[in-house]
Amino acid sequence: MEEITLPPVDEGAEDSVTSAVDLDVDSAYGEALELEGRYEVDPVAGGKRFQGVWLVLDDGTRHLLAYRPVPEGFQFIDKRVRVRGRPYLPGSDVQHIETMHLAVDAIELAPGEAPYRSPPIGPLPPPAAHTGAALAAREGRWVQVVGALQSVEDDPDGYLGVARLRLVDGTQVYVRNVLKGEWSPYLGQWVTVTSQVRPEPVVGGEPPAYELFGARQFDARDPGRAGLECPGEQA
């Protein structure tokens, strides 16, 4: 598979976060290295339009490759890739995400990874999860959680609210930093939350409880469309 070099991401958009590949002169670089892992693109933009492109290693370590989706990289989405580049820390005068950055010199599919017959034309939507088993299969990754909104309370660990969803199998899912006024009208109804699942349950037992990394998207879901009976509280 021919290697490609990811081009710089356009920084021209107003209120944008500075690109991770247009490097500041004060950035601190590490030694060149070669890494292998899964190429991921956030399916939904967040604050200041940040929509990260990541290399996720087998141990869960995440390296930020770019702050925006890169069209030349769509062929690698959710594929195992081999990347050559240099880790770096952006300069102090550059607005950036507090995470590991990697300036990419070249990228290619990893040995044995088959290319798409027809590459995606953009970031892929994450799969839907209606049960705890589906959530467990996506730990640390993006998912569309479909569940009944049970409560929206003040968050003791934050200044916004924390919402609790109940899935059809009884699994509890907590979502922090929600706007209570936006979520409360949907109490007792189906909702779909697009986010990342934290790498482990926040509460053990059967079924366990999970927590999401906030909510990038929140939508009301018609129970008839979901094809599921809206679950109430456990007795």
The predicted structure's pLDDT at residue 234: 45
Per-residue confidence (pLDDT) for residue 201, from 0 to 100:
65
For residue 231, pLDDT over 70 is answered with no
- More confident site: 223 or 175: 175
Q: What is the pLDDT of residue 18?
A: 36
pTM: predicted TM-score of the whole model, two decimal places: 0.74
pLDDT above 80 (res 98): no
Q: Band the pLDDT of 88: cuts 50, 70, 90.
A: confident
Q: Is the pLDDT assigned to residue 50 strictly greater than 70? A: yes
Which pLDDT band, with edges at 50, 70 and 90, does 193 fall under?
A: very high
Share of the chain above pLDDT 70, in %: 75
| pLDDT-based confidence at residue 3 (cuts at 50, 70, 90) | low
- For strand 33-41 and strand 80-89, is the pairing parallel, antiparallel, or unpaired? antiparallel
pLDDT in tens, 196-215: 888 666 665 666 788 987 77
pLDDT tens-digit readout, 137-174? 998 889 999 999 999 998 877 678 899 999 999 999 99
Predicted pLDDT of residue 104:
93
Residue 16 has pLDDT above 50, yes or no: no
Mean pLDDT of 88-99: 73
Average the pLDDT over 179-183 and give the result.
90
Q: What is the predicted pLDDT for the residue at 24?
A: 42
Taken in order of first residue, the domains within the chain and their CATH numbers are 28-109 (2.40.50.140), 128-225 (2.40.50.140)
Other Cβ atoms within 10 Å of 95 Cβ, number = 10
